[in-house]
Structure 1
Amino acid sequence: MTQTLTIRRPDDWHLHLRDGAMLQAVLPETTRHFGRAIVMPNLVPPVVTGADAAAYRARIDAAMPEGAPFEPLMMLYLTEETDGADVVAAHKAGIITAVKLYPAGATTNSASGVRDMAKVRPVLEAMAEAGVPLCCHGEVTDAEIDIFDREAVFIDRVLEPLRRDVPELKVIMEHVTTRDAVDYVQTADRNLAATITTHHLIINRNHILVGGIKPHYYCLPVAKREEHRKALMAAATSGDARFFLGTDSAPHTDPNKEQACGCAGVFSATNTMSCLAHVFEDAGALDKLEAFTSLNGPAYYGLPVNEGTITLTKGDPVAYPDKLMTGEGPVTLFDPGFPLLWHVEA
């Protein structure tokens, strides 16, 4: 029996498009199924001013497939030199949707990030007053903190004090990976939400390490124990409006992944909706897929849901390519480890 599901066109609330030849190759993979995406600002050099964001948006528009029903939502990269007035003006002008907090050294191209939260307090207060959301890469970077504990420590050391001191600031904890983060978000009655990635709903740390190192499953925050994956699954499939999709699809060429010090990132833009349909069906929660991918994010950001729809149909396995060929080299597509039976008709 054919199974079909039609939902509002989804959004991706955490996406890496890169720039140049990589941007031109990966952008169509998102525009095929998604209506909007929050575009990460960690380029080299990073997107730190309203003018930078406008220029990056212009480059994205120039690479846009003709007729694509897609809107990139721009961000600024928070630094200790960020001008609060520029942030507020860029938001008011519709140039940016949010600001990104990278603890310095936490992930790819995060060297310009924040080391001392006290130095950005005036900017955060201005953002709270103007209604500019803050998206957080939620990990501390202290060398003495185990990499599997860095998200939980971030909540205690950074996020809880921030929310206590600036309670009107709208915060999104991005790509949560632990039960600790899920529990913390569920304690909030306002101004806190979280994105969950496709791959963190599917893999745990065994996928990276058992039977040899699998570099294409290596990401930051790194996948955790199975108990944490199950907590993410429960949150994503619950219908709780505080949780929504942010793929963190992050393309790196194979040579940059498969080396002695490989890059962190999973590229999943191409097959995310097929993966999620499988995951939600397996959990008996297909009726919650639309909320997670298409409704909860716009509600939190105060944006309308997309007018268009996509239809998912279950049938024979989808023949997704193993790799995306780009002008910079091949990029390996996320392999969920099971056949993808849900076809997407946009």
Structure 2
Amino acid sequence: MKDSYILPAAADMHVHLRDGDMLKAVVPTIRNGGVDTVYVMPNLVPPVTTIAAALEYKKRLQDVDSSINYLMTLYLHETITPDVVREAKKAGIAGIKSYPAGVTTNSSSGVVSYEPFYPVFEAMQEVGLVLNLHGEVPSDKKDVTILNAESKFLPTLKDLHRRFPKLKIVLEHTTTADAVEAVRSCGETVVATITAHHLSLLVDDWAGNVYCFCKPVAKTPEDRKKLLDALVNSNGKFFLGTDSAPHDISAKKGKGNAAAGVFTQPFACQYVLSSLEEAIERGDVKDEQVTEGLLRGFLSDWGREFYGVEKATKNILVKKGNATIPESIKDAGVEVVPFRKGETTWSVEWQ
């Protein structure tokens, strides 16, 4: 790898920007990570299930930073109908996100069965609206744990693709070798996002550190190696979606269960580059595989192409080892601890 690259501004195709004070604290960090386009998750409280709510949410985001291109989504819910899908497309909504009920933060209103939504998926297929899948089954199912919940979901992914072959589907935040192979086995309408943190984390990391705990959880060295292989051999099938998920420090270290989510927004591109460096050192990736073209594709071009978003018009300069990740970010009355706090990483400068 080189010591610096000039790359197009990144497109982060899976972000949680929250609302209220957390929104005010998090949105100003987007550009710090070299990103100018974000695909915004709808799992607020209450969830974003109407076009009006999505557009109002977008306005709140723009009021904080209007330089970012916010791609808005709806939460798959019983109130979503084929007519809503058609109107959403006209209104500029980019996709609809499916959460299995109860698997992660603010997913209690999620899907129990996909069959009732087949007419919705048919309409999405017709108008070109993307279906985003949180690819896990709930852990209350027999023989399901957080370690195999993603693999258990993959038959559902394949079934949906078989039933709706023209429906554009994104399997979000893939973490397993099984998921990589499942996505590769599907047609060109099925792709996947890979987070920055899953390129480095293993199960032992989050088992002892609440700031590395997310859903889906990081898995084994073999799974991580498969994710890295998917990145360097993507050809557009896999691209960046950080799943950056901020929680106030009180939700991470307070009484009860730690909130699921890793905060990576301020260093989105930097974390990816650091993970690739480390992968080369371990021998998981060959140095010659990490080309400028690969970085341009994974961080920016391939996600934009899949969603039909224009290419970046601004560039970023990323430099090796010039930035230190802060211990926390405090703003608007909240405090969020970023991934790999206190460590040195790459820096980003806008061109």
Per the normalisation by structure 1, the TM-score is 0.93
Question: 1:257/1:319 Cα in 2 relative to 1: closer, same or farther (>3 Å)?
Answer: same
Distance of 2:78 and 2:222 partners within structure 1: 36
1:270 aligned counterpart, secondary structure: helix
> Does residue 157 of structure 2 align to residue 159 of structure 1?
yes
Equivalent position SS for 1:271: helix
Give the Cα separation in 1 of the matches to 2:341 and 2:174: 19
Aligned residue runs from structure 1 range 138-177, under 5 A: 138-143=135-140, 144=142, 145-156=144-155, 158-177=156-175
1:273 CA drift (Å): 1.6
1:185 paired residue among 170, 183, 198: 183
Query: Counterpart of 1:308?
Result: 314
Separation in structure 2 between the aligned mates of residue 261 and residue 338 of structure 1, nearest angstrom: 26
Q: What are the superposed Cα offsets for residues 118-137 of structure 1, whole Å, 9 maximum, x if unpaired?
A: 11111111111111110000
**Counterpart contact for 2:325–2:343, Cα < 8 Å:** no
Show the counterpart of 2:327: 322
Contact 2:11-2:36 at 8 Å conserved across structures: yes
Contact 2:326 2:342 in 1 (8 A): no
Q: Distance in 2 between matches of 1:85 and 1:109?
A: 25
What SS class does the counterpart of residue 35 from structure 1 fall into?
strand
The CA deviation at 1:84 is: 2.1
**Pair 1:345-2:343 in alignment:** no
Q: Alignment length, in residue pairs? A: 335
Structure 1 counterpart of 2:332, which letter? Answer: G
Q: For 1:13-60, what per-residue CA distance to the aligned partner results, in whole angstroms no more than 9, with x for missing partners?
A: 000000011101100111332111000000001100111111111111
CA shift at 1:318, angstroms?
Answer: 1.2
Query: Where does structure 1 differ by over 6 angstroms across 4 or more consecutive aligned residues?
Result: none
Cα displacement (A) at 1:336: 7.3
State the partner residue of 1:29: 29
The answer for the alignment partner of 2:101 in structure 1 is 104
Give SS of 2:335's match.
strand
| Residues 121-132 of structure 1: pairs in structure 2 closer than 5 A | 121-132=118-129
1:260-279 equivalence runs, <5 A: 260-279=256-275
Q: Does the CA-based 8 Å contact 1:127-1:133 persist in structure 2?
A: yes
Aligned mates of 1:49, 1:236 — CA distance in 2: 34
Shift of 1:179: 0.3
Q: 1:337 Cα deviation (Å)?
A: 8.4
User: Deviation of residue 329 (structure 1)?
Assistant: 2.4
What residue is the counterpart of 1:41 in the other structure?
A: 42
Kept in 1: contact 2:51–2:91 (CA 8 A): no
Equivalent residue for 1:234, pick from 213, 229, 238: 229
In structure 2, distance between residues paired with 1:273 and 1:240:
19
Flag structure 1 segments of 5+ consecutive residues without an equivalent.
none
Partners of 1:42 and 1:302 in 2: CA distance = 23
Following superposition, the deviation at residue 240 of structure 1 comes to 2.2
Give 1:57's aligned residue: 58
Q: Match for 1:149: what amino acid?
A: N
Mapped contact 1:199–1:336 kept (Cα < 8 A): no
The worse-fitting range, judged by mean Cα deviation, of 230-239 and 100-109 is 230-239
Which of 122, 132, 144 in structure 2 is aligned with 1:135? 132
Aligned equivalent of 1:291 = 297
After superposition, the C-alpha distances for 1:220-279 in whole angstroms (9 at most, x for unaligned) are 001111110110011112242110000000000111011321100000011222221222
In the alignment, the residues of structure 2 paired with residue 326 and residue 136 of structure 1 have an alpha-carbon distance, to the nearest angstrom, of: 31
Work out which of the residue numbers 71, 74, 84 in structure 1 matches 2:72.
Answer: 74
Contact in 2 for aligned 1:49/1:87 (Cα 8 Å) = no
Does the C-alpha gap of structure 1 residues 337 and 227 become closer, same or farther in structure 2, counting only changes over 3 Å?
Answer: farther
Task: Please give the secondary structure, in 2, of the residue aligned with 1:272.
Answer: helix
Q: Which one-letter code corresponds to 2:108 in the other structure?
A: A
Query: Where do residues 112-127 of structure 1 align in structure 2 (5 Å cutoff)?
Result: 112-127=109-124
Note the aligned Cα RMSD (angstroms): 1.6
* SS across alignment from 1:11: strand
Segments of 5+ residues of structure 2 without an aligned counterpart are none
- Give the structure 1 partner of residue 212 of structure 2: 217
> Structure 2 CA distance, aligned partners of 1:121 and 1:16?
27
Counterparts of residues 201-212 of structure 1 (less than 5 Å): 201-209=199-207
1:318 is paired with a residue of what secondary structure? strand
